Amino acid sequence: MNYYAYRMMIRTHEENVILKCRRLFQQFAVDMYVKVETERLAFIRFNQKLRSEDYIHLRDAIHSDGDVQNIGRLTILPSTYIGSPRHMHEYAQDAMTSAFGNGQRVYFTEANAAQRAERPPSTTLTSFFAMCEADPFAATDVR
């Protein structure tokens, strides 16, 4: 991958012919991307350390389906592989979390959000607004 990045790099004192070829450069970039991604997938497939044979759902699927041609080796993509279900799930979890200053996370679900809307927790900000509503002078500044 470093070689292809080196080939595509723009340098001030050297002329890079690949960059001047427009559509050929685009085809080169796509081909090299596919080549690198294929190598990454092959590495994951052949070097996976998970015991994927022990997954009960795979065993159930093999036993319920009588066709021997459909039996294969399960490869689970890690969350570090961009575009894998675990990667997308991690992004979805990050989007649904709110982190406090001390690193503690709070997950919001539909039920949790409805409950919070009905009975919001008392925080410094809500206490400040309640105090401003009670004081007529402060209420003019807040609104």
Does residue 29 contact residue 8 with C-beta atoms inside 8 Å?
yes
Q: pLDDT band at 8, cuts 50/70/90?
A: confident
| pTM listed for this prediction | 0.44
Question: Of residues 72 and 16, which shows the higher confidence score?
Answer: 16
Strand, helix or coil for residue 62:
helix
Does residue 126 contact residue 120 with C-beta atoms inside 8 Å?
yes
CB neighbours of 90 closer than 8 A, spacing ≥ 6? 79
Residues 70-97 pLDDT 10s: 556 667 777 788 878 888 888 777 766 6
Neighbouring C-alpha atoms within 13 Å toward the C-beta of 107: 5
Does residue 18 contact residue 8 with C-beta atoms inside 8 Å?
yes
Domain segments of the chain: what residues? Answer: 1-65, 77-104, 107-142
Q: Which two tokens stand for residue 126?
A: 């809500």
Residues 43-71 pLDDT 10s: 888 887 766 555 666 566 666 655 545 55
Does residue 77 contact residue 85 with C-beta atoms inside 8 Å?
yes
Q: pLDDT band at 122, cuts 50/70/90?
A: confident
